[in-house]
Homo-oligomer: A and B are copies of this chain.
Amino acid sequence: MPIVRFLPSNIDVDMPVGTLISDAAIKAGLEDFHLPCGGKGTCGQCLVEIIDGHPETVGHSHLEDALAIKGMVMACRTKICEDTVVRLKKKHDDSMRVVGNTHLLIRDDLLPDSDNLSPTYSIMHLQVPPATIEEHYSDWQRLSYQLASSKPVTTNAVVLRQLAESLRADGGKVTITTNDEDAELRVMSIQPGHVAGIAYGIAIDIGTTTCAAQLVNLTDGRVLASTASYNEQISRGADVISRIDYARTLERQLELRDLVLDSLNALIKKLCTTTGVDSDDVKAAFIAGNTTMIHLLLALPPRYIRETPYVPTVNTVPTLTASEVGLEIYDLATVNCAPGVGSYVGGDITAGLLCTELTTNHEDVFLYLDIGTNGEIVLGNADWLVTCACSAGPAFEGSGIKCGMRATDGAIEYFDISDNGATVKYDVLGDGKPAGVCGSGLISLLGEMFVRGVVDQMGRFNTELPTGRFIKTNHGKAYLLVAGADTESGKDLYITEADIENLMRTKAAIYAACALILDNVGLDWSSIKQVYIAGGFGRYIHIDDAVLIGLLPDLDPDKFHYIGNAALTGAFISLLTRAGRDKLATIANSMTYIDLSSDPKYMDSYLGAMFLPHTNMALFPTVAAKLAEK
């Protein structure tokens, strides 16, 4: 079989003739190799350079001539024919910006009361009387009796093995841990004496882009450490749809499962190492994730999520064990997942709602926005909830935009345009030169371009403006942001009209979905008491800019409330309180899902939002006023 050698890592793999270079790269285990579009040949992000060998291009190639001349090909569209040497593109520094304690963004009264915790896994001190000749009940009977549970009591073989000695070591004093979430009260572990029971839990958020985890002491509710990293599945598709497409065989489902488990187990290891906690003492996990992420974690086939009528295998996952799921904590630890509502509104949303007044306030109406790779919207309060999802696309995650990148070092996160578009100032994350523009930077950029007249209401360049920055590129007319001399790669950073249209589609999808969901319940923007913005995304955007481009509605800025990674905090709350878990079940069962794609009014609403900020300027009075000022 031909050998494919990957540079710069010098890794060789034998692959049959006709193998896609992308498949060879995956086989070679190259961590830097990503397939944001899932291998459909549409994103152009899997470009590699052919150093030696003559591979064959499959189907239509989207490559620019200049790249093709340089020997670049798309790995997902190119098959090997003989021994081939391939060089990967230079890797960006993907060191993660970890969001600190996002709990600080949540109202205190919504967080667990440390004096009144009811974790999935609880610790009990029992005094089990000894058996006597007259009352010779077995050890297990006497222990069960002390539990005084109305539910059947059960346990595992490990506890049975330790039972006799534990009951006799300290005069019948034992410390046990139990789980009584389900129909049975399950004794999970036992140790002699009344000891300060050790039991940790882990709250996990599996995002399409990012996984985050918190190690929690279940006895006092303290967060011992938090960490985050990219979801390693990113290399197999940037959004849920690409990943569902990728996961079309059982083998690939298992591959994606392993990738996300690698991410999660690395986080767990890091949390345990940092804090000195033994991973065997982590006795419970609570996971929030969108429906696709949960399916991929459990290696469930995800295809029906995106095939009509769009039903997942499971919304409310039964309690599983850590060893079944593959989490590297105590084998018999319980793993619970926040219940989802449907294919496109998952447990990350129900968990996130626990951090808001949507589940506590009966008087007012609230809006919840989770804008990530996908956009999910919830409207309502403690009495009613409606929800919808919109395929916003990953533009705000830096994907699908020529200069786009994720919010890591080198990303421009803020623009200030002046001199009629001639001067462009910017802020870069980290200390280096700019390498691209992240989501908040794109919002800032679009707002500045609009307000400075660089683009019109339809997002088209006003090329008559003497900016000196309109340039011609292989992707058409563009507005130069940073000249090559000042960038990390030495190449110009620019934005094209196609990019702008992409951003406008995203922002219009989100705004239109919000407008439609309000319309559906007969309310308008003025009814909204507060807008919760969840997700890492919200932390970095400037509300003014987001309103300016019509991504967010033109409301009193005080009504906007960032809550950070609410899905993670919701998992944390659920890990620690029964009230949280019960509420999750209620939310998931009672929430009304509105399918936008089947609503004929959605297209009208969307087209109205495909302007800056909107065709109906009456909806954006402060923006109108600002424009009038100029």
A interface list, Cβ under 8 A from B: 130-133, 136-141, 151-157, 160-161, 163-165, 168, 182-184, 298-301, 303-304, 308-320, 324-325, 342-343, 593, 595, 598
Contact = CB atoms under 8 A, between A and B. Distances in A.
Given A140-B313, A301-B164, A313-B164, A324 B184 contact: no
Contacts of A139: 304, 311-314
A313 B165 CA distance: 9
Contacts of A316: 138, 140-141
Nearest to A130: B309
Q: Is the interface of A mostly helix, strand, loop or mixed?
A: loop
Contacts of A132: 309
A311 B131 contact: yes
A325 B157 contact: yes
15 contacts: A136-B310, A136-B343, A136-B593, A139-B304, A139-B311, A140-B316, A141-B314, A152-B182, A152-B183, A157-B298, A160-B313, A161-B299, A164-B300, A165-B301, A168-B304
Contacts of A595: 133
B155 A318 contact: yes
Given A309-B136, A313-B138, A164 B318 contact: no
A157 to B, nearest CB: 5
A297 to B, nearest CB: 10
Contacts of A319: 154
A563 B595 CA distance: 67
Nearest to A138: B315
A140 B309 contact: no
Given A160-B300, A300-B161, A138 B182 contact: no
A60 to B, nearest CB: 32
Please indicate which of the listed interface residues A133, A298, A303, A314 has the most CB atoms of chain B within 10 Å of its own CB. Answer: A314
Contacts of A141: 314-316
Please indicate which of the listed interface residues A304, A319, A342 has the most CB atoms of chain B within 10 Å of its own CB. Answer: A304
A309 B152 CA distance: 26
Nearest to A165: B301
Contacts of A343: 136
What is the count of identical protomers in the complex? Answer: 2
A155 B313 CA distance: 13
Contacts of A314: 138-141, 160, 163
Contacts of A299: 157, 161
- Give me the 5 closest cross-chain CB pairs, A-B, nearest first: A183-B183, A131-B311, A140-B314, A154-B318, A138-B315
A186 to B, nearest CB: 9
B311 A138 contact: yes
B183 A298 contact: no
A300 B152 contact: no
A343 B131 CA distance: 12
Contacts of A163: 300, 313-314
Given A140-B316, A300-B161, A309 B155 contact: no
B131 A298 contact: no
A585 to B, nearest CB: 12
A155 B317 CA distance: 9
A320 B156 contact: yes
Contacts of A318: 153-156
Contact of A312 (B138, B165, B182, B309): B138
A156 B152 CA distance: 20
Given A133-B309, A136-B309, A136-B342, A298 B160 contact: yes
A157 B153 CA distance: 23
A552 to B, nearest CB: 30
A300 to B, nearest CB: 6
Contacts of A130: 309
A133 B598 contact: yes
A311 B161 contact: no
A384 B381 CA distance: 60
Contacts of A320: 156-157
Please indicate which of the listed interface residues A301, A325, A598 has the most CB atoms of chain B within 10 Å of its own CB. Answer: A301
Nearest to A157: B324
A343 to B, nearest CB: 8
Nearest to A314: B140
Please indicate which of the listed interface residues A136, A151, A303, A324 has the most CB atoms of chain B within 10 Å of its own CB. Answer: A136
Nearest to A299: B161
A346 to B, nearest CB: 11
A548 to B, nearest CB: 37
Contacts of A164: 300-301, 303-304, 313
A154 B182 contact: yes
Given A138-B315, A153-B318, A165-B301, 5 more contacts: A131-B309, A133-B310, A163-B313, A164-B301, A182-B183
Contact of A317 (B136, B137, B160, B342): B160
B183 A311 contact: no
Nearest to A597: B133
A151 B183 CA distance: 8
A151 B310 CA distance: 28
Contacts of A304: 139, 164, 168
Contacts of A308: 133
Contacts of A312: 138-139
A385 B303 CA distance: 59
A151 B324 CA distance: 23
Contacts of A593: 136
